[in-house]
Amino acid sequence: MKRHSACTMDCPDSCSFLVEKREDGTVRVTGNPDHPFTRGVICAKGAALPKRLSHPDRITRPLLKKDGAFTPISWDEALDLCAANITACRAHPSSILYLHGFSSHGVLAKAGDFLFGTLAASSKTGSMCDEAGCEATARDFGAVDQNAPSELLNAARIVNWGRDLSRSGVHTGMLVRQARKAGTKVLTISPGGDGNAPFSDAHVRVRPGTDRFLAAAVIKLLLDQNGPDQNGPGPAVLSRLANFQAFRQALSAWTLEDCLAACQVSLDQARDLLSWFTDPGPTSTLIGWGVQRHPLGGQNVRFINAVSVLAGQVGRPGAGVSFGIGSGRNLGPGFETAVPGFSGRLLLPRLGREILDADPPIRMIWVDAMNPVNQLPDAETTARAFETREFVVVMEAFLNDTARRANLILPCALPLEREDILGSYQHDWVNHSAQVLDPPGQVKTDYEIYRLLAERLGLTLPRAEDCLRRALAASPSLDISLEEMRERGFARPNRPTVAFPGLVFAHADGLCRLPEGLDPEPGPDPDYPLRLLTLISKRSHNSQMDQAAQSGLPTVFVAPDCTTGAPFIGRAAHLASPLGRLAVRVESLPGLHPSAIIMRRGGWMALNRSANPLIAPLVADMGGQAAYYGQYVCLEA
């Protein structure tokens, strides 16, 4: 019999699953054909979940580090130890740092926030992922909102500004393909070397990190052709802008030629790009997350938004800019607001340094659903910060770089082994992720671990089922009971499919704000000329990869016309930044911008396959975002 469940990986698609337990004991995960967004299709990572859940490397018992080696202990011993360490810190609760990642997101995934917020522990601020773009969108439009993905089917043109449709967002790729079959044209803007060719009619190659200058150049061309029978912004658009004069002033600090030189795009290409926004019919723009993982990533997103708004390509069927939505927006809070709440927040991109410098000191760290030692920049500092605390607890399923630095590992349940309800950061469907498998060995769900810990601390966690009911009852857009949700597996909230209709934005005055600064891109140090783009890999999700699949040197890719990289093509070399060196193998990637070098992210430090020890803790201009792609590197023998 097949039962429905849903993927809980940190992925925009949020797939609905059918899970079949066969007589021979094997488990098969396929897509649920009834789900209107994911339409029966899942990616290779979803299909490989059964293999991951039953992997021989999986941690299935609590493990305590003694004399440098992990030894199994009982849950009672483990939880008593946790309670004793927390109690010892309770007089100064900000000395406990709680870190929750998005690898499990949903209603019950907030159990740790509730418990550690009740204890007034410290937590994090800033983002590894998408916060620069979210803040940019909120500054412009007053809210993080976008048209429903299905509006792509109403577009005459789609501008794919920085997504790799072959690697993330399988279902957005499907919609783009469907739209193209019906005649929609697609343009991709990226540093090149991605998998967008089969999805695109045209490509503009941009120098990494400088999309705001390309957008600014297009806007200059648009404003120059302003006239009654031209396509520049007319009164209908101008009347919807709160600060057009200040925007124009910021733009006037740069000439068209300077803008084009900064992004290394030709005038002809910029003119052509303008026509993608001004030709008859609606244009939809997809903004990729890579665009905002740069030092001025927020500004990049704001200028792309500005092109679309000034061309009137927002707020209509088939016309809009899509960066994302909040994955929790269709659910109410499952837990009451934790009182008193977190007492302090450490900035994620600089977490290692912030832990080492915290005053009063951080004595204890508690992590769930995150691999911060591996995934944050300046990884050696993060590692040292973890290694020098009194007590580190990591709720994990595999011995990754963070778990290795734990004093205590608590084995956690994974997707399909725990119930939750969750939304997506790309579409509005809300999924029920049913528990369809028993967790192996002594593994417990995060919620259950927190419930047992709370008991030992004299606190109470509300019942899981009550949290799920509360989140549904308090939803601003759903009208469904927990029973119906469990029965159907997913629900569509009552939301319009077009965001900001009629150019009415979510700011109190209904007007859009445009950026009021256009800042230069930090140039490379002559010794480190290449921009390091650490992009996702198709087959694994961030650092969730099999150790066995990580043998040999990690591969980096440069263009054949990359002058400093080409001599190393086909050879082993070192990737170097001012922070360190990593042995790599260099391969050729035709089409990639010659100033860029690509390495696929997620490799483990323990296996010498992570770029994060080489990446400085740069913070982007908005959202406390880690600006990973601002790092310059070189290749050396």
Ligand X SMILES: Nc1nc2c(c(=O)[nH]1)N[C@H]1C(S)=C(S)[C@@H](COP(=O)(O)OP(=O)(O)OC[C@H]3O[C@@H](n4cnc5c(=O)[nH]c(N)nc54)[C@H](O)[C@@H]3O)O[C@H]1N2
Give the residues lining the site for ligand X (CB under 6 A). Answer: 10-11, 101-104, 128-130, 161-164, 167-168, 189-191, 194, 206, 208-209, 211, 288-291, 293-294, 368-371, 375, 395-398, 400, 412, 414, 446, 533-538, 541-544, 601, 611-612, 615, 628-629
Residue 46 interacting entry, from Mo ion, ligand SF4, ligand X, none, C-beta within 5 to 8 Å by type? ligand SF4
Residue 532 touching Mo ion (CB under 5 A): no
For ligand SF4, which is the closer residue by CB, 43 or 559? 43
Decide whether 168 or 305 has the Cβ nearer to ligand SF4.
168
Between the CA atoms of 120, 124, 125 and 129, what dihedral angle is there, to the nearest 10 degrees? -150
Residue in 5, 35, 46, 109 binding ligand SF4, rule: CB under 6 A = 46
Q: Rule CB under 5 A: is residue 558 a binding residue for Mo ion?
A: no
User: Considering CB distances under 5 to 8 angstroms, the limit depending on partner class, which of Mo ion, ligand X, ligand SF4, none binds residue 85?
Assistant: none
- Alpha carbon distance 301, 295 (integer Å): 12
Residue 424: CB minimum distance to ligand SF4, A: 8
Within 8 A by CB and 6+ apart from 625, the residues are 126, 127, 129, 130, 131, 132, 133, 292, 293, 297, 298, 349, 619
Helix residue spans in 264-346 (DSSP H): 267-278, 297-310
555 secondary structure, DSSP code: E
3-state helix, strand, coil in the chain (%, to 5): 30, 20, 45
Rounded CA separation 476/428 (Å): 12
Residue closer to ligand X by CB (options 283, 612) is 612
**Which of 11, 42, 121, 129 touches Mo ion by CB under 5 A?**
129
Q: CB of 447: closest distance to ligand SF4 in angstroms?
A: 21
- What is the enclosing helix (H) or strand (E) of 374? helix 372-375
When binding is defined by CB under 6 A, the residue of 86, 107, 129, 170 that contacts ligand SF4 is 170
**Best CA proximity match to 320, nearest among 285, 291, 276:** 285
The whole-angstrom separation of Cα 110 and Cα 467 is: 10
Q: How far apart are CA 27 and CA 41, in angstroms?
A: 17
- List the one residue from 4, 35, 45, 220 that touches ligand SF4 (CB under 6 A): 45
Sign of CA dihedral 601, 603, 604, 605: negative
Under rule CB under 6 A, which residues in 236-255 are in contact with ligand SF4?
none
Find the shortest distance in angstroms from Cβ 6 to ligand X.
13
**Residue closer to ligand X, measured from CB, 142 or 208:** 208
Least CB distance from residue 295 to ligand X, whole Å?
Answer: 11
Q: Which two tokens stand for residue 448?
A: 């259950």
The one segment of 124-132, 271-279, 313-321, 341-349 that binds Mo ion by CB under 5 A: 124-132
Residue 206, both tokens: 């941009």
Which one of Mo ion, ligand X, ligand SF4, none is in contact with 543 (Cβ closer than 5 to 8 A by kind)?
ligand X
Q: In which order are the strands placed within the sheet that holds 63-66?
A: 69-72, 63-66, 408-411, 391-396, 364-368, 96-100, 122-125, 344-347
Question: What's the closest the beta carbon of residue 344 comes to ligand X, in angstroms?
Answer: 21
From the CB of 536, what's the least distance to ligand SF4, in Å?
11
Instruction: State the Cα–Cα distance between residues 436 and 560, nearest whole angstrom.
Output: 49
Per rule CB under 6 A, is residue 9 in the interface with ligand SF4? Answer: yes
**Distance of closest approach, residue 32 Cβ to ligand SF4, in angstroms:** 11
Task: Report which of 242, 450, 425 is spatially closest to residue 328, judged by C-alpha positions.
Answer: 425
Taking the C-alpha atoms of residue 179 and residue 173, their distance in angstroms, rounded to an integer, is 10
**DSSP tag of 211:** H
Which SS3 state, helix, strand or coil, does residue 278 take?
helix
CB of residue 352 to ligand X, shortest distance in Å: 14
Told to check if 15 binds ligand SF4 by CB under 6 A, we report yes
SS3 98: strand
Instruction: Give the span between the Cα atoms of 509 and 400, in whole angstroms.
Output: 49
Q: Which of ligand SF4, ligand X, Mo ion, none has residue 164 at its interface (CB below 5 to 8 Å by kind)?
A: ligand X
Which partner, ligand SF4, ligand X, Mo ion, none, binds residue 170 by CB below 5 to 8 Å per kind? ligand SF4
The answer to whether 98 and 372 have CB atoms below 8 angstroms apart is no
15 binds, among ligand SF4, Mo ion, ligand X, none (CB under 5 to 8 A by kind): ligand SF4
- From ligand SF4, ligand X, Mo ion, none, which one binds at residue 612 (CB under 5 to 8 Å depending on kind)? ligand X
Cβ nearer to Mo ion, comparing 129 with 222: 129
Which element (helix H / strand E) includes 532? strand 530-535
For residue 257, give the H/E element and its range.
Answer: helix 256-263
Which of 7, 512, 582, 584 binds ligand SF4 (CB under 6 A)? It is: 7
Residue 429 interacts, among ligand X, Mo ion, ligand SF4, none and using kind-specific CB cut-offs from 5 to 8 Å, with none
What single string gives the DSSP state of each residue in 329-367? TTS--SSPPPSS--SEEEEGGGHHHHHHH-SSPP-EEEE
Residue among 19, 42, 218, 260 that touches ligand SF4 (CB under 6 A):
42
Nearest residue (CB) to ligand SF4, 10 versus 446: 10
> With respect to ligand SF4, which residue has the nearer C-beta, 195 or 341?
195
Binding segment (CB under 5 A) for Mo ion, from list 75-83, 121-129, 173-181, 343-351: 121-129
The number of residues that bind ligand SF4 (CB under 6 A) is 11
Stretch that binds Mo ion, among 127-135, 156-164, 250-258, 549-557 (CB under 5 A): 127-135
Scanning 129-137, 149-157, 302-310, 397-405 for contacts with Mo ion by CB under 5 A, the matching segment is: 129-137
- At 586 the three-state DSSP class reads strand
The contact set with ligand SF4 (CB under 6 A) reads 7, 9, 11, 13-15, 42-43, 45-46, 170
The contact set with Mo ion (CB under 5 A) reads 129
